[in-house]
C-alpha cells in the first residue's frame, strides 16, 4: 500500500468520525454517516458518495503535500496548509476537473441548507 492509499484510508476514517459526531451516531460507520447526510441534506446517496469521494481525495492529496513538502508552503495559525493558488495547482494535478467544482458547489449548498460540517468546509478563500 502506497502513501496515497494510506492517506485515503486516513481521510475516510476522519470523515466517518467527524460526520458521526455531527449527526450524533453512536456506532460510527461509513454507511450510517452517508445515510444521515443524505437524509439531512436531501440529496441521493449516489450524489453524497460522489461528493465525499471528491473531498476525501482532495484532503488526502493536501495531507501528502503537507507531509512531504509542507515546509515550503504557508500554514495558518492552526498549522494547516494554506490553500494558496500554487498549493491548489499542485493538489489539482491528477484530479478530474469536475471534482474541485463539485467540492466548492457542495460547500456552498451545505451552507445554504443550514448545515455546517467542519470536515467538509475546505477553505478556498485564497483563490481568485
Quote the pTM value: 0.86
Closest CA to 15 of 47, 45, 55, 42: 55
Instruction: Judge whether 84 and 90 are in contact, CB under 8 Å.
Output: no
Domain presence at residue 128: no
Domain presence at residue 124: no
Kindly report the number of other CB atoms within 10 A of residue 80's CB atom: 12
Q: Does the structure show a pLDDT above 60 at 68?
A: yes
Domain presence at residue 122: no
Q: Does the structure show a pLDDT above 90 at 121?
A: no
- 96 or 53: which leads in pLDDT: 53
Q: How many folded domains does the chain comprise?
A: 1
Report d(CA 126, CA 123) in Å as an integer: 8
pLDDT digits (tens, 9 = 90+) for 89-98: 888 886 666 7
Domain presence at residue 104: yes
Domain membership of residue 70 as a residue range: 3-113
State mean pLDDT over 44-59: 93
Question: What letter would DSSP give residue 42?
Answer: T
| DSSP SS3 for 115 | coil
Amino acid at each position: 500500500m502506497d502513501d496515497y492509499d494510506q492517506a485515503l484510508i486516513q481521510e475516510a476514517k476522519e470523515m466517518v468520525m467527524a460526520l458521526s459526531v455531527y449527526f450524533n451516531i453512536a456506532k460510527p460507520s461509513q454507511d450510517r454517516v452517508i445515510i444521515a447526510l443524505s437524509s439531512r441534506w436531501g440529496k441521493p446517496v449516489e450524489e453524497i458518495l460522489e461528493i465525499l469521494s471528491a473531498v476525501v481525495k482532495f484532503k488526502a492529496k493536501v495531507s501528502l503535500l503537507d507531509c512531504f513538502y509542507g515546509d515550503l508552503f504557508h500554514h495558518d495559525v492552526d498549522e494547516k496548509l494554506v490553500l494558496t493558488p500554487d498549493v491548489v495547482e499542485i493538489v489539482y494535478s491528477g484530479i478530474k476537473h469536475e471534482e474541485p467544482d463539485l467540492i466548492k458547489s457542495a460547500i456552498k449548498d451545505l451552507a445554504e441548507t443550514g448545515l455546517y460540517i467542519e470536515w467538509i468546509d475546505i477553505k478556498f478563500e485564497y483563490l481568485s
